Chain A
């Protein structure tokens, strides 16, 4: 039994411990869309939430050990309410909350025997899409400003790579949702388990709402969104098939498979304009240089 453990060793052990804990769970994604920010997490429980409201335009999402991030969530809500009460509601920002989480998690990581096995995302919407922000805070208090989208927890690297392929700026909610589902299915090699509303926790920060922008999407509305997501997927797949048909004049091109929306496609992601202009008939593909 060693009397002395070097600080590097001790920190590394803690970090490994925390990382393992976080990787054991399921991934969660947060991404911007035209109307705000969407957050999706696989969560079979309807009562214990991974995604929650912190303040008017600020949301919280976390992975890892439930009791630890639930504690942090409540503390974040209290911090936000105190700041808004002391000053004004407009003075509560995601940046302030993210910094507070960084400070807290950093202290816990350094000074306690067991680090918190959590990873936290704080998201805020502004008046326009350009002002939206997503912050990620890791178990050791590192905070990063994530552009556009973030995947965290579980097999985060795989999910993030899949999300990067599908993500583009200014997507509609249905498109963003489809991208999120596809990304979450990536670790199981694109095999989408039956996506059931009861197994998902979905929430948005909706720019159009007055006062409190946070809104959970569940039950009937979630079923609709799943269907809309599938339709968006189908449109995208049809568009790709149409382009493949056009390009099939050139030799040795592999066409995209029809009908299945989940296959990873080597082509660059389709922007929102293409998907929305597709009217479903494969013959009307846009003209391409021969």
Chain B
């Protein structure tokens, strides 16, 4: 373990001088490597981590022998738990983010109660699709990145700043993505200046792409998006946006084996979060259950969900 001053000698007196050795190499980050923790020039935790201890970065490539080919390695990768369908919908003065609970490994269900939607900071939330463990790594790093910046600078990043940092992190995961360990996030936040929720999507190389109204990612995203297309209304109240999201997740689970619907027997329901002027709030188990039950009850009589109007009303 390197001394916190970097190199082999404690050297607090040269905060801007490079430390010797590997701790000083920053791959592609463009930041002069700090000697230990004093005299840091960056408020970005991920930048610091890349130079201080690159082995801790999520995107470190697993090694040349591992690939998605037909060999044993490829099967191993395909059998890693993958996570799927996340839905985001803008609502009145905010945005909703909801995700299913299933992780599949090949044709098996690896986990029934995965959480794929997280609070990234007080006014934003993030969900991911792709390789489960890689996704968790990226999200953890992102959470620390945002909090670290706020503590260092005394203010939060702007929403665009947060979206850009996330894009950089996804880009950093590129080597792993090329070998099949893909992570694609969906990022939402409340914009205090504009007093509205905003949605940002990404591709395996980065982004961000700002989405309007609603979006979905993951293996079931095609079905979820189709469903939301018919249910979404601009500026809908939060409750309606949540209901529409749960409907969309249900439709995704209906058609995609890798997306899980609400598990009424075990009481496992989608993770639903809202981000509004009051900040991030994850709905309680009871509230999620409420919405899920409402949707399921409706499907008892209309299995394909509430029909959209074919002819314009009125």
List A residues at the B interface (Cβ < 8 Å).
47, 49, 52-54, 71-72, 74-79, 81-82, 84-86, 100, 103-104, 107-108, 111-112
Contacts and interface: CB of A to CB of B under 8 A. Distances in A.
A108 B220 CA distance: 57
B33 to A, nearest CB: 14
B140 A107 contact: no
Contact of A77 (B4, B53, B151): B151
Say whether chain A's binding surface is mostly helix, strand, loop, or mixed. Answer: helix
B37 A112 contact: no
A54 B147 CA distance: 10
A4 B78 CA distance: 71
Given A79-B4, A107-B12, A108-B12, A74 B40 contact: yes
A81 B144 contact: yes
Given A72-B38, A78-B37, A86 B147 contact: no
B213 interface: no
Listed from nearest, the 5 A-B pairs whose CB atoms lie closest are A75-B37, A78-B37, A77-B151, A81-B148, A107-B10
A84 B38 contact: no
Interface stretch (B44-52, B66-74, B89-97, B165-173): B44-52
B13 interface: yes
Given A108-B12, A111-B13, A112-B12, A81 B4 contact: no
A79 B45 contact: no
B21 interface: no
Given A71-B15, A71-B39, A103-B4, 7 more contacts: A75-B38, A78-B148, A81-B45, A81-B144, A82-B52, A85-B56, A85-B140
Contacts of B154: 47, 49
Given A75-B40, A84-B144, A86-B56, A54 B13 contact: no
B152 A100 contact: no
B12 A104 contact: yes
Nearest to A80: B151
Contacts of A78: 37, 40, 45, 48, 148
Contacts of B48: 78
A74 B40 CA distance: 8
Tell me which of B36, B38, B39, B53 has the highest count of chain A C-beta atoms within 10 A of its own C-beta. B38
B152 A85 contact: no
18 contacts: A54-B151, A72-B38, A74-B40, A77-B152, A78-B148, A79-B37, A81-B144, A81-B148, A84-B144, A85-B45, A85-B56, A85-B141, A86-B56, A104-B4, A107-B5, A111-B13, A112-B12, A112-B13
B144 A71 contact: no
B144 A85 contact: yes
A107 B37 CA distance: 14
A75 B39 CA distance: 8
A75 to B, nearest CB: 4
Contacts of A81: 45, 144, 147-148, 151
Contacts of B39: 71
A245 B104 CA distance: 79
Contacts of B140: 85
Contacts of B49: 82, 85
B152 A74 contact: yes
A49 B154 CA distance: 9
Given A82-B52, A85-B56, A85-B141, A77 B148 contact: yes
A103 B38 CA distance: 13
A123 B302 CA distance: 59
Interface string B25-43: 0000000000011111000
B12 A52 contact: no
Contacts of A74: 37, 40, 152
B52 A111 contact: no
A112 B13 CA distance: 7
Given A78-B48, A84-B144, A53 B4 contact: no
A100 B4 CA distance: 9
Nearest to A47: B154
A53 B36 CA distance: 21
Nearest to B141: A85
A127 to B, nearest CB: 22
Contacts of A112: 12-13
Nearest to A113: B13
Given A82-B49, A85-B141, A107-B10, A71 B38 contact: yes
